[in-house]
Amino acid sequence: GPLSERPLLEVRLGELHTWISTCSFSPQGLLGAVQRACSSYCAKYIHVKQGGPAGISMLLAGYCLLSYGWNYQHFSKTSYFRSS
C-alpha cells in the first residue's frame, strides 16, 4: 500500500523521512496516533485469551522510569550515597 498507510514497524530506514513527512502533527492527528498505539498495545498484551504478566509489567516499568526521570533533580540533591 501507500507509504502513509504503513505502520512504523513496516517502514524501511531509507523511507523513514518520507513517512514522517506524511504524518499529521495537528492535535487531532497526535491524539489519533496515541489512540491507535493504545488500542494496539491493549490488543497485543492486555486483551488476550492466555495472557501473562508482560503487559502489566511493561506499564509498571515505564511508570517507574518516568517517575524517576521526573524526580531526578530531587534524587540528585538528596543523595545519601554522595561523599561529603
3-state secondary structure of 9: helix
Q: What is the rounded average pLDDT for all residues in the chain?
A: 84
Residues 16-63 pLDDT 10s: 999 888 888 899 989 998 998 899 888 887 787 776 788 788 889 999
Please tell me the distance from the alpha carbon of residue 70 to that of residue 53, in angstroms, as a whole number: 26
Residue among 45, 65, 44, 66 nearest 56 (CA): 45
Assigned C-alpha cell, 24: 499529521
Regarding pTM above 0.85, the answer is no
pLDDT at 79: 61
Amino acid at 72: Y
Sign of CA dihedral 48, 52, 58, 59: positive
